[in-house]
Amino acid sequence: MTYKSGSIGEFMKWTKRVVTDPAAATNTPKRWFDSDETAARSLGTTASPEAMVKLLSAENLILLALIGKERPASVRALAQLANRKESNLSRTLKKFHEAGIVDFESDGRTRAPRLIAQRVTLELDLVGPGSVVSVQRPEVR
């Protein structure tokens, strides 16, 4: 997948140009990043649509809601809240981490799961070369 990196000012100029001349968007990447480093981090969290659908099962969506609302102090505390075995939960949290949805706060002894994504977007190109899953992290203000 291709992308373009640049400043917010460059993106704004491009956007204004596309508004007045839609053809200017032809052959331009649909994903923009502030730097190549950000692009590498984000693009590294892509997964197949099939894997994401499995990961975002009804049971796992409840788990994510628990993490967001309850902010458990540890994986063990989350296991108790979710009524799941800690070993099973750890595997699921690892997959969420790899997908860029969950990260961990650590105090040296315990790891507390935290949501780092606000939204997961599944983009399916039914006639193109492949599908992409992107994870949107909250804006830092």
Residue 138 has a pLDDT of 59
Task: Say if CB 73 and CB 110 are below 8 A apart.
Answer: yes
Given this model, what pLDDT does residue 66 score?
Answer: 95
User: pLDDT tens digits, residue range 23-45?
Assistant: 877 877 767 777 776 666 666 65
The DSSP-derived string for the chain is: ---EE--HHHHHHHHHHHHH-GGGGTT--S-EESSHHHHHHHHTT---HHHHHHHT-HHHHHHHHHHHHH--SSHHHHHHHHT--HHHHHHHHHHHHHTTSEEEEE-SS-EEEEE--SEEEEE--SSSS--EEEEEPPPP-
Residue 63: per-residue pLDDT: 95
pLDDT for the residue 12: 82
pTM across the whole model: 0.60
Residue with tokens 């590498």: 40
Q: What would the pLDDT profile of 112-140 be if each residue is shown by its tens digit?
A: 999 988 777 776 666 666 555 566 665 55
What pLDDT, in 10s, does the model give residues 52-93?
888 989 999 999 999 999 999 999 999 999 999 999 999 999
Give me the pLDDT at residue 114, please: 95
* pLDDT tier for residue 100 given thresholds of 50, 70 and 90: confident
